[in-house]
Structure 1
Amino acid sequence: MKLLNKVSIRMRITLLTGAILFAISVLLTLSSMYNARNKFILPDEIAITKDPNTGEAELVQAEKNDVIKSKVTPSAQVLLAKKQFDIWSYIYLIIFSSIGMIATYIITGKALKPLQELNDSIINITEHNLKGRIPTYVVKDEIGSLVTSYNAMLERLNESFLRQKRFSSSVSHELKTPLSIMNAGIQVLHLDEEPTVEEYKETIEMVERNTKRLMNIVEDLFLLTNESCIDAADEIDLKKLFLQIEAELQPIYNDKNIYIDYEFGFSKIVGNKTLIYEAFFNLVENAMKYNSTNGKVEIKTLVEDNVEKIIISDSGIGIPAENINKIFEPFYRVDPSRSRKIAGAGLGLSLVKSIIEKHGWKIELESTVGVGTCFEVSRHLKRSKLS
C-alpha cells in the first residue's frame, strides 16, 4: 500500500482496477476449464452397451450400475485438444486483462484531465497572478464541483489581495500626507533666517494639528485590526448616547441646519460603551456630513420579527449602487475629489462595521442617489441583552 501512495492517482486507479479485472478473469477462466473437464463426456467415461431389443451397440456415459462391455482409451488428439484449450484460456486471460488495464488507463486519464489542469493552474498562481481560471465543465460530478470551488476561491483571494493593496496604498497616503505637511512647514521655518514669533506659533499649531491627525489614524487602525476580545458589559442608554452625539455634532454642522428626529422602541442595550459611542458617532456624523442643507436625520429603534433594530437614515446625497459593497472597506471613498474637501481618513465605516460585528450584531445599508442613505444595525433577540 505504501508503494501505491508513491504513484499517480491515474496509475493507482489503473492498477487497482486491473487487479480486480485480472481476479475476475482468472475466476472466469478456471470456471470454464472446470466446466470443460467435468460437464462434457470424455472418451474414458464412455461405455459400449447393446440394446436388448434391437441388439444394436450404443455409447452411453458409464455409471456404477452399467455393465461395461468395453472401454475406449482416450486418443492423443483428444488430450492435445484439452491441452490447447487450457493454454488458449490462459492466453485470453492475459490478453483481455491487458486490454482492460490499457482501457482503464486511457479512460482514467481523460476523467482526471481537469485535475491535471487544476494542478498546472495552481503551480502558476502567485500573489501577483490570481487571474488564472480553469474552464468550467458541463458535467456536474465531483471534479466539476472541485473546479467550480477552485475558481470561486481564486475570485475571493483576488478580491482579498486587491483590498489589501488598496489598504496598504491608502495607509501610506494617509500617513504620508500629514508628515509631508509638517516637514514642509519646518523647512520653510528653517529657510527664514529670522522667523517671527507668529511664524513659530503657526508652525507649532500646524505640527500639533497634523500630529493629532496621525494619532487618530493610528488609533483607528489599531481598533480596526485588533482581534482581542472586548469588554461588552456596560449598560448603555441609547437616548442619552444619541443626544450627546447630537450636542457634539450640531455646532460643527450648524450651517446646514439639519434636524434630527428620534423614535425609540427600546433604549437600553449592553456593550462596550466607548466602542458603541464611536460606532454610532460615525454613523450620525456621516448622516450629517453628507446631508443636504435643511436636511433631516431619523434615528429610531424598534423590534420587528423578533429582531431588534437601530436605524439611522438621512436625506442626503446617497451612494451609487456600484459603491455600496465597497463602502465598508478601509480608506474607501465614493468620490475621492469630494472627500478631500471633507475631513476624515475614510476609516469611519470600517470601524463601525468592525465594532458592530464584534458585539455580535450586523450592519446593512440601503441608499439611493439624491434621496438618502439608511443604515440598519440589528441582532436577534435571543442573543440580545436588553434591559
Structure 2
Amino acid sequence: MSKRISVQWRITLLTALLIAAACVSLNLLLFYSGSGSMDALNGFVVEYKTENQQEMTIQIPKENMQAFFSDFSQQVNEEKVRFERIGWYITALVTLLSAIIAYFFSGKALKPLKDFAQQTEQINEESLTDTRLPEDTTAEFRQLSESVNGMLDRLAQAFDAQRQFTGNAAHELRTPLALMQTRLELFAAEHRQMSEETAKLLHFQQEQVERLSALVRTLLEMSDLRSVPRTDRIDLAPMVEEVLVDLTPLAQKNGITLTQAGENVQLVGSDVLLYRVLFNLTENAIKYNRTGGSVELSVEQEHGQAAIRVRDTGPGIAEEYRDSIFQPFFRVDKSRSRAMGGVGLGLALVQEIVRLHGGTVRVEQSADTGTTILVTLPVGKAA
C-alpha cells in the first residue's frame, strides 16, 4: 500500500502531521506551565467568596494589605520571568524533537532514493545484463527504473556489437597481414643481394606488419575473453615464479633485477588469463625501468582478497595519467612505446581480464623512485 503513495505526498503528509504534533505539544506544555504559574499566586488570597456567578469578592485583612501588595508584585514578576524561561525551554525542546522525528521519517520516505543510488553504483560494463532496478516502487521511481533498465539493455547491446565488430575486424585483418608478412619474408629470401636502401625499406615494412599483427592478435584476445573458462584452481606464488623465469632474458638484457616476495594465495579463475595479467605488468615494469633497476612481484592476502603488487624503480607516472594508462591505445611516452614494439593494448587487456575476475587494478603509488601497480582479486570463488 505504501508503494502506491508518491514521495511528494509522503513528505507532504509527514510534514503536516509533524507540524500538528508540534503545535499540540507546544500548546499543552505552555498551558501546563501557565497554570502552574497562576496557581502559585493563590497563596496570597486569604479568603474569597462569591455572591453570584458574575462577581467574586476577595477579602484581605488590613494588617496584611501592605505586605500583600509588595509580595504579590514581586511574585508576579518572578512568575513572568519563570513562565518566559520555561516557554523558551519548551520551544527549544519541541523544535529539537521535531527535527529528530523529521530526520527519521524523511529518511524512511527517501529510502527508495538511497536504494536506487546504491543499486546504480553497482552497475558496470560487466553487470549490464545482470543488473535490473526494481520497478515495483513509488510512482516517481517506477518510471525512472524502467528508463534505466531500458538504457542498460541498449548499452549491453551496444557493447556486444562493439565486441563483435572488433572480433570480426580482427579476423578479417589477420589473413591479409599473414599473407603480407609471408610475401615480405619470401622476397627477402629471394633477393639477398638487394641494395641498402631496399633492405631498410623491407625491414621497415616487416616491422610495421609485425606490429599490426600483434595488434590484431591482442584485439582477438580481448574480443574472446568472455568465452575463456574461469574455473581453474590457481596458486599465485608458482605462477609469479613462472612469469619471472620467462621474463628473465628480457630483464638481463635491460640490466633489471627480478625478485619475488609475499605468500602463496589460492583463488579460482583462468590460469591463462591471470598469467597474462602478471606477464604484461611485469614486462611493462621491465621495459619502462631504469638501467640497473629492479622489479618486485609480491602476493599477499588482504581483507579476504589477493593483493598482487608489481613494483619497479622507473621514472614514475604523472598523476594525471594514472587512470588513463589503462585505456586502449593510450601512451604516456609515445615515441618510447613504439620503439619498444608496444601496441597500446597491454594494460587495457590487463584491466579487462581483472574485471572479468571481479577484481580491480590501479596505480597504488608512483614517484620519481618508482611505481607500484596493485591488482586485487577475490579469493576462493569464481567471478
Q: TM-score range by the shorter chain?
A: 0.3 to 0.5
TM-score w.r.t. structure 2 length? Answer: 0.47
TM-score w.r.t. structure 1 length? Answer: 0.46
Structure in which a larger fraction of residues adopt helix: 2
